[in-house]
Chains A and B, each alone.
Chain A
Amino acid sequence: MAESICRALRDGALEGEHAPALTIKDSIASPFGFHVFCHVLSQLSSFILAGKSQSGGLVVVSFSRSPSFYLELLKNKGIDVVSSDKRIQILDCYSDPLGWKDRLIEAGNFTALSHEASNSSTANVLKDVKHMDKLYNSIVERGKGLIGGGKNRFSVAIDSVDEMSRHASTSSVAGLLSNLRSHDQVSSIFWLLHSDLHEARVAAVLEYLSSMVTSLEPLHQPANGHRGDLENLSLIEHNLKKGKFHVRIKRRNGRVRVMSEEVHIEQSGISFTSLSSEGAINQGLVPKVQFSLELSEKERIDRANVVLPFEHQGNGKPIQIYDGRRSLADSKHERQVAATEKVQTNEDSGGGEIIYFRDSDDEMPDSDEDPDDDLDI
């Protein structure tokens, strides 16, 4: 399923449609969003480098990690960005997002010694991320630089919408993303969001903009929902190793498909398995008690055969339920019916019956006497 997301991003936009957009959403209880982001990023870049995808280039907008981090990440996946024929560009919004370093240099109490920027030729430092239109222009510029003009397309990856929306309003961030996905030359776009840092409406706005949403949730919700409760320490630890991975895909006709998987974060990397195995484990988790809570097949049949006293017998006769308001004439007729019914139950040997003995004479038979007769009302 994680694969189908990568495939959708790889296949890119149809003519006359928006580019497919993916929101990766997590929260502090299951903070694997960045793992998933890295997974999708490396998958897509290897598709691009192999020439299997619609897009011919990838622009990574790095807010939360340094460009060198991404260089190394891709290098570990066997993708050398520097020698990759300029298919991947990293737009550096990490090193100096607000231009503080520049201002300090201007003020004269700072010596520029930026290893980071000088080391990586593929990175471009953006020093004013507050202006979304400037950011948009730089992304598109970088993208066009990768693929040239014409009908070629490029993909965009944004590693933190949180940082963006800290610097700019929600509407301008949404505007930027919307412009990007409707741009002629954008093939696909995906971004990461920590949903608990924002109001619910921010996440909703971004989900409207995207054709696919993956959200990560903890497998086990803490019982009382209290943050940082230490009593369920093992539970927290459990949640730090795996989580639920929901994918919501919006089709063009408006149909929505939801799928779930389980994501494991292990020493060896990230992996996805189907949820069914977890379900089996959960069934095994029914509390073990000394008595049987289940019915055997025979017990189930016997139970089905018991005729409840007022149950409709389904033999074509009118249903006789005594409601305490019959006239005397009716009751004669009723006695007859009761007799035939008795014969019937005897014949039907397989059927169960309820036999009732009065406990003692103290217990009066049911009658229509008013129990409050003796009260002087």
Chain B
Amino acid sequence: MNQRSSNLLDEALGLDQSIEPWPLRGRIVAIEDQVETSGSFVLHHILKRSLSPNSSNVSILIAFSQPFSHYDRVLRKLGCNLVTQRDNNRFFFFDMLMLQCPGGDEGISPECGLIALYGKIYKTIVALPEVSSKNVTIIIDDLSLMEVAANGSSDYVLDFMHYCRTLTTEFDCSLIALNHEDIYSSADRPTFLLQMEYLADILIKAEPLATGLASDVHGQLTVLNKGMNYRQGSSRNKISNFHFKVKENVVECFYPGSQG
């Protein structure tokens, strides 16, 4: 039941075929949500999948929005114990709640701010044994709060994202980042959001239903899997759209109208 209900999201992400090698390897996933529909459940879902017992994946969670205890509680409900995973060196938690980057360009020094964070991630990956260093998932929750920590400098965040991206080419890491779509809605040119969309190999949008609130549907997900393979100059764009319902210990995904 558990397996079946999440199938649509897994399918859209390519996680249904096999978990090893990690299908998101070397790819960037951007999740965009809105105030009415939180997309954090997608993060939880990917985190749970990457920590599944029959894989050697390692996850690094960079948390700007919630403390460890929060994720621990949520993931426990989903059947995954973060404390054990942390003890087994499969889960690394970077608490960035109090991060405050020094202001101005000159204040960017290797001891603090996002450079230091990048150094920390790099060191963590390098220190991993060979098997797992090829299967690292970096999860950022979330980019808008990172921007706040960077004193609103979206360029600084984009620089950081670029360096994280070099990790995806250097170590085949996957990079998963949550961002909020509606906080950029007033800007006539949501550059930061667009930059992320250009970067992303997979774009996931969580939105409320166009028809308004419903008790048994919490929102809709659109997954755009670019699946681009520039090397051969080809591309397999796949777009899927479905409704979801976030339950206590599972997320149900179903096609519109198929829920009785």
Contact B159–A240 (Cβ < 8 Å): no
1/0 per residue B198-215: CB within 8 Å of A? 100000010100100000
Which residues of A have CB within 8 Å of B232? Answer: 76, 269
Closest chain A residue to B114 by CB distance?
Answer: A100
1/0 per residue A188-219: CB within 8 Å of B? 00000010111100000000000000000000
Q: Which of A93-143 contact B (CB under 8 A)?
A: 94-98, 100, 103-104, 106-107, 109-111, 113-116
Which residues of B have CB within 8 Å of A265? Answer: 234-235, 237
Which residues of B have CB within 8 Å of A31? Answer: 198
Choice from B158, B222, B230 contacting A38 with Cβ under 8 Å? B230
Interface size on B, residues (CB 8 A): 43
**A115-B231 contact, Cβ under 8 Å, with A110-B119, A166-B158:** no
Which residues of A have CB within 8 Å of B236? Answer: 267
Closest chain B residue to A95 by CB distance?
Answer: B166
Contact B231–A76 (Cβ < 8 Å): yes
User: Counting CB contacts under 8 A, is B110 at the interface?
Assistant: yes
Interface size on A, residues (CB 8 A): 54
User: Counting CB contacts under 8 A, is A302 at the interface?
Assistant: no
**A94-B234 contact, Cβ under 8 Å, with A104-B115, A166-B158:** no
**A110-B166 contact, Cβ under 8 Å, with A28-B197, A69-B230:** no
User: Counting CB contacts under 8 A, is B35 at the interface?
Assistant: no
Closest chain B residue to A163 by CB distance?
Answer: B162
Contact A104–B119 (Cβ < 8 Å): yes
User: Counting CB contacts under 8 A, is B118 at the interface?
Assistant: yes
User: Which of B5-13, B59-67, B86-94, B188-196 has 4 or more CB atoms under 8 Å from chain A?
Assistant: B188-196
Contact A115–B170 (Cβ < 8 Å): yes
Choice from B122, B194, B226, B241 contacting A197 with Cβ under 8 Å? B194
> Min CB distance, B229 to chain A, in Å?
9
Contact A69–B231 (Cβ < 8 Å): yes
Contact A194–B170 (Cβ < 8 Å): no
Which residues of B have CB within 8 Å of A268? Answer: 234
Count how many pairs of residues, one from A and one from B, have CB atoms less than 8 Å apart in the complex: 119
User: Counting CB contacts under 8 A, is B255 at the interface?
Assistant: no
Contact B110–A107 (Cβ < 8 Å): yes
Measured in the bound complex, the distance between the Cα atoms of B183 and A344 in whole Å is 77
User: Counting CB contacts under 8 A, is A272 at the interface?
Assistant: no
Closest chain A residue to B118 by CB distance?
Answer: A100
User: Counting CB contacts under 8 A, is B246 at the interface?
Assistant: no
Contact A28–B198 (Cβ < 8 Å): yes
> Min CB distance, B101 to chain A, in Å?
13
Measured in the bound complex, the distance between the Cα atoms of B231 and A349 in whole Å is 75
> Min CB distance, A93 to chain B, in Å?
10
Contact B169–A38 (Cβ < 8 Å): no
Which residues of B have CB within 8 Å of A65? Answer: 230
User: Counting CB contacts under 8 A, is B239 at the interface?
Assistant: yes
Which residues of B have CB within 8 Å of A38? Answer: 230, 233
Contact A230–B220 (Cβ < 8 Å): yes
Contact B239–A98 (Cβ < 8 Å): no
> Min CB distance, B121 to chain A, in Å?
11
User: Which of A231-239, A249-257, A322-330 has 4 or more CB atoms under 8 Å from chain B?
Assistant: A231-239
Which residues of B have CB within 8 Å of A39? Answer: 233
User: Counting CB contacts under 8 A, is B126 at the interface?
Assistant: yes
Contact A269–B210 (Cβ < 8 Å): no
Q: Which of B205-260 contact A (CB under 8 A)?
A: 205, 207, 210, 220, 222, 224, 226, 230-237, 239, 241
User: Counting CB contacts under 8 A, is A334 at the interface?
Assistant: no
Closest chain A residue to B171 by CB distance?
Answer: A115
Choice from B123, B194, B231 contacting A196 with Cβ under 8 Å? B194
User: Counting CB contacts under 8 A, is B163 at the interface?
Assistant: yes
User: Counting CB contacts under 8 A, is A66 at the interface?
Assistant: yes
Q: Which of A104, A107, A194, A270 has the most CB of B within 10 A?
A: A104
| A residues with CB within 8 A of B | 28, 31, 34-35, 38-39, 42, 65-66, 68-69, 72-73, 76, 94-98, 100, 103-104, 106-107, 109-111, 113-116, 162-163, 166, 194, 196-199, 227-228, 230-231, 233, 236-237, 240-241, 265-270
Given contacts A76-B232, A95-B166, A109-B119, 8 further A-B contacts (CB under 8 A): A38-B233, A68-B169, A103-B115, A104-B115, A197-B191, A230-B205, A230-B222, A240-B224
> Can you give 20 contacting A-B residue pairs, CB < 8 Å?
A28-B194, A38-B233, A68-B169, A73-B233, A76-B232, A103-B109, A104-B118, A109-B110, A109-B123, A111-B123, A196-B194, A197-B198, A228-B207, A230-B241, A236-B224, A237-B239, A240-B224, A240-B239, A265-B234, A269-B233
Q: What are the 7 A-B residue pairs with the smallest beta carbon separation, nearest first?
A: A240-B237, A107-B110, A269-B233, A66-B169, A104-B119, A103-B110, A237-B239
